[in-house]
Amino acid sequence: MPLLTVTDLRTHFHTRNGVYRAVDGVSFTIERGETLGIVGESGSGKSVTGYSLMGLVPTPPGRIEGGTAVFDGVDLLHCTPAEARAIRGKRVAMIFQDPMTSLNPYLRIADQLIEPLLIHQDIGRAEALRRGLEMLVAVGINDAARRMHLYPHEFSGGMRQRVMIAMALITRPELLIADEPTTALDVTVQAQILELIQKLQRELGMAVIFITHDLGVISGLCDRVQVMYAGRIVETADTRTLFKAPRHPYTRALQRSIPSLQQKGAELYTIQGMPPDLSKPLPGCPFAARCEFALPKCVETPVHLREEVPGHSHACLRAQLGEI
């Protein structure tokens, strides 16, 4: 049985300008120890998917309209607050692009680091501090015994990212949701953080949902990838298949956009147009307006993620009909 099974998740934002279907019928599973990549351009609903699982959707204007998210037998979207507390922040943790989202600027690192232990586990402060120090060492903070008594602003960007990871992992979660944790960092620091996540994943056997817009990061890290567009999953496959034999035109366009794969000096490939307005009805494929293969039927006909070969699904009508 998968560790997490998400079925038909719908999270919408009710604003003065209309109802934005940020996540619009997302279904996926993740096994224990597996690394699942979620890729897509900004605004495609990657973060809101993570927030929905963590109970972090700002309500209002956001609202989870439907769906289930069953983690080890418990539906996170419909369980009691006590059941949710026992899972979120303990067995499922999330890290963010901006570490200051999870760090309190007015608290010493040590105090915020051990807070989840004091809440979730029946241990004393001294033991919690010992575990906190151990975790800081594990994420590669030099001189951790002294530095754990400093404030977040006394750390560099890369170090704050490590502290946030230490905080997320201190309860030894079974699932980590990593939302673009390296997007704002230098490539050298990104390499350190990715290596760290992989090492801790091996040691703790945890599953990771890695959210990014960078296909390069996905290729080395993830077992499986799903591509999101306009709040929906348009393609999912094991990483190698997704890179070698993408079927959905959006996945292909994303791949063509990678600068290093393009001929030097030539115009960089750009995907024409803009993502659709999520408050307007989109009966057919949300990518149709920008797709070079689209026919009138693509705009009108509802299309669903369908498995083409075991493990490889996509939501392109024309590919499903064998036309492209």
Partner 1 sequence: MPEPILELRDVKTHFPVTHGFIHRRLVGTVRAVDGVTLSIARGEVLGLVGESGCGKSTLARTILQLVPVTGGAIILEGRNLTSGTAAEIQEVRRDLQMVFQDPYASLNPRMTVFDTLAEPLRVHRVAAPADIPGRVARLMELVGLAPRYMRKYPHEFSGGQRQRIAIARALALEPKVIIADEPVSALDVSIQAQILNLLAQLGRRMNLSLIFIAHDLSVVKHISDRVAVMYLGKIVELGPAVEVIERPLHPYTRALVSAIPNANPDTERTRQRIVLPGDPPSPMNPPAGCSFHPRCPFALEKCRAAVPPLLPADHQRTVACVRLGEI
Binding partner of residue 100 among Mg ion, partner 1, ligand ADP, none, CB under 5 to 8 Å per kind?
Answer: none
Least distance in Å: CB of 227 to Mg ion? Answer: 15
Residue 276 buriedness (CB in 10 A; 0-12 / 13-18 / 19+) = middle
Q: How many CB atoms lie within 10 A of CB 273?
A: 10
Least distance in Å: CB of 248 to ligand ADP? Answer: 17
Residues from 149 through 208 that contact partner 1 (CB under 8 A): 156-159, 186-192, 194-195
Least distance in Å: CB of 179 to Mg ion? Answer: 6
Binding partner of residue 48 among partner 1, Mg ion, ligand ADP, none, CB under 5 to 8 Å per kind?
Answer: ligand ADP
Per DSSP, 258 falls in state -
What one-letter code names the amino acid at 46? K
What one-letter code names the amino acid at 97? Q
Structural contact between residues 285 and 275, judged by C-beta atoms closer than 8 angstroms: no
Tokens in use for 186?
A: 């230098």
Tokens in use for 223?
A: 């077992």
245 binds partner 1 (CB under 8 A): no
Give the residues lining the site for ligand ADP (CB under 6 A).
Answer: 13, 15, 20, 22, 40, 42-48, 58, 61, 278
257 binds partner 1 (CB under 8 A): yes
The residues facing 227 across adjacent strands are 39, 235
Q: Give the DSSP per-residue string, 69-117.
A: EEETTEETTTS-HHHHHHHBTTTEEEE-SSGGGT--TTS-HHHHHHHHH
The smaller minimum CB distance to partner 1, of residues 186 and 300, is found at: 186
Least distance in Å: CB of 140 to partner 1? Answer: 8
Least distance in Å: CB of 278 to ligand ADP? Answer: 5
Q: How many CB atoms lie within 10 A of CB 105?
A: 8
SS3 state at 33: coil
The smaller minimum CB distance to partner 1, of residues 27 and 239, is found at: 239
The 130-149 contact track toward partner 1, x by CB under 8 A, reads ------------x-------
Least distance in Å: CB of 190 to partner 1? Answer: 7
| Region at 204 (left for phi over 0; alpha for psi -120 to 50; beta for the rest) | alpha
The smaller minimum CB distance to Mg ion, of residues 75 and 98, is found at: 98
Structural contact between residues 111 and 170, judged by C-beta atoms closer than 8 angstroms: no
Least distance in Å: CB of 131 to ligand ADP? Answer: 32
Q: How far apart are CA 184 and CA 36, in angstroms?
A: 21
Binding partner of residue 106 among Mg ion, ligand ADP, partner 1, none, CB under 5 to 8 Å per kind?
Answer: none
Binding residue for Mg ion, selected from 35, 47, 236, 251, defined by CB under 5 A = 47
Positions in the binding site for partner 1 (CB under 8 A): 41-42, 142, 156-159, 186-192, 194-195, 213-220, 239-240, 243, 255, 257-262, 264-265, 267-271
